[in-house]
Chains A and B, each alone.
Chain A
């Protein structure tokens, strides 16, 4: 049993980077769809009750939209089965990276990451953390604004609700980011001195998250450089995508964090 807070945040950075790399080097739908499944599996095993976890759905939606938009781009040119497939696979790759990022977002505490950044990178790390925390905060704000609107008897559904929703949500988001920055400053963030309350050790669980992920990325790197497996299935003419057993196993390695258990809460 592992507690996500007991896991060194670097382990998750390694996992997400490795999974993202795997998605980046292939357009084979077999591998990509497996990565969606793996991301969901890891998310399901480690999600927390906090608002962060809810943002996974946001990224999932974003991924589906990305696939649809990228595929739709074909209609600006000559439409053929070959280039529609090509576009779809490119979109699927982009969507996969979004889903992986969504998992990363759901299982880590962005400000936990800031604390472990070396002093030199403190400011960029803070900016990254604020950016990472935007998605979950936005999800929470949408809920609150909708509740407030409902209480005033405003019932707008679907796309037409967007403008009425966007303004207060963006406003709140800006306000919250400002308050947070203010509070961090008032509590001495970036004053120069620094110590660590609880140094986070590299536990067995952290190693189980990071090491198999590195192995997975290395396998795909080898396939990409060595050319012993097809990473980009031919789309003209369209052929059934191949699935190399070794590469399938490598993606399986990315699912290991999902097996090491749920956080005890």
Chain B
């Protein structure tokens, strides 16, 4: 159980899917490692990533067999919110994950839900703002950001929560080649 993220024989079919979106996936990713999922559009990359914190199948329904565990916790036995301290997920459309209006508050949101104490929280927010070069945007409304800025804020918000596993769906889709 030392693997941070583990898939055992995972097959998943969407409620109206004729064929499985992902089939018989075995996967073990150690802590501290970096893994990349590559494939053409529609090959199930997003489904695979969304299964990592239980959004698939808990929010999608459908038929799921096999087992996914994060840090030893089964994603079928724990709702995504109970895995939030271990896995952070940044969806393909970075704007879709924003809950609060202000960049700085958005970075604190995950930690608020985890009950991190305010002093520690403020320090983490500052560190993350500096790390991703977002200090200049801290007071901006997330709605006014460009695509690339939004993406960086979404990644920062995921990082700030201090997860052991960071799952990024197309993290460079909004960045120009130089930026990426």
A→B interface (CB under 8 Å): 5, 48-51, 109, 111-112, 115, 176, 178-191, 193-199
Most buried by B among A183, A187, A194: A187
User: Contact at A191–B114, with CB atoms within 8 Å?
Assistant: yes
Interface residues contributed by chain B, number (CB under 8 Å) = 41
In the complex, per-residue mask of B76-93: 1 if CB is within 8 Å of any chain A CB, else 0: 000111101101110101
Q: Is B149 an interface residue (CB 8 A)?
A: no
Min CB gap B105→A, angstroms: 6
Q: Mark B90-126, 1 if CB is under 8 A from A, else 0.
A: 0101001111111001001111111111100110010
The list of the 3 closest CB pairs from A to B, nearest first, reads A193-B115, A188-B84, A197-B108
With A197-B105, A197-B122 already in contact, the answer to whether A183 and B97 are too (CB < 8 A) is yes
Contacts of B157 in A (CB 8 A): 187
Contact: B81 with A189, CB < 8 Å?
yes
A246 CB to closest chain B CB (Å) equals: 39
Question: Which residue of chain A lies nearest to B116 when distances are taken between CB atoms in the complex?
Answer: A195
Q: Is B141 an interface residue (CB 8 A)?
A: yes
Query: Chain A: which residue is nearest B144 at the CB level?
Result: A49
- Across the two chains, which residue of chain B brings its CB closest to A48? B141
Are A183 and B96 CB-contacts (below 8 A) given A115-B112, A188-B110, A196-B112? yes
Q: Is there contact, CB below 8 Å, between A188 and B91?
A: no
Show the binding face of B for A, using Cβ within 8 Å: 53, 55, 59, 79-82, 84-85, 87-89, 91, 93, 96-102, 105, 108-118, 121-122, 125, 141, 143-144, 157, 161
| Chain B residues closer than 8 Å to A195, beta-carbon distance | 111-112, 115-118, 121
Contacts of A199 in B (CB 8 A): 118
- From known contacts A180-B96, A188-B85, A189-B81, infer whether A50 and B101 are also in contact, taking CB-CB under 8 Å: yes
From residue B11, how far is it (CB to closest CB) to chain A in Å? 22
A48–B143 CA distance with the chains assembled, in angstroms: 11
**Are B113 and A194 in touch, CB under 8 angstroms?**
yes
Cross-chain contact A186 with B118 (CB below 8 angstroms): no
B100 proximity list for chain A (CB < 8 A): 109, 111-112, 115
Q: How far is the CA of A176 from the CA of B82 in the complex (A)?
A: 22
Closest Cβ of chain A to B87, distance in Å, is: 8
What is the CB-to-nearest-CB distance from B72 to chain A, in angstroms, rounded to a whole number? 18
What residues of chain B lie closer than 8 Å to A193, measured between beta carbons? Answer: 113-115
A61 to chain B, nearest CB (A): 22
Q: Identify 24 residue pairs between A and B in the complex whose beta-carbon atoms are under 8 Å apart, listed by A's number.
A: A49-B144, A50-B141, A50-B144, A109-B101, A179-B97, A180-B96, A181-B59, A183-B91, A184-B99, A185-B59, A186-B53, A187-B88, A187-B99, A187-B110, A188-B161, A191-B81, A193-B115, A195-B111, A195-B115, A195-B117, A195-B121, A196-B118, A197-B108, A198-B105
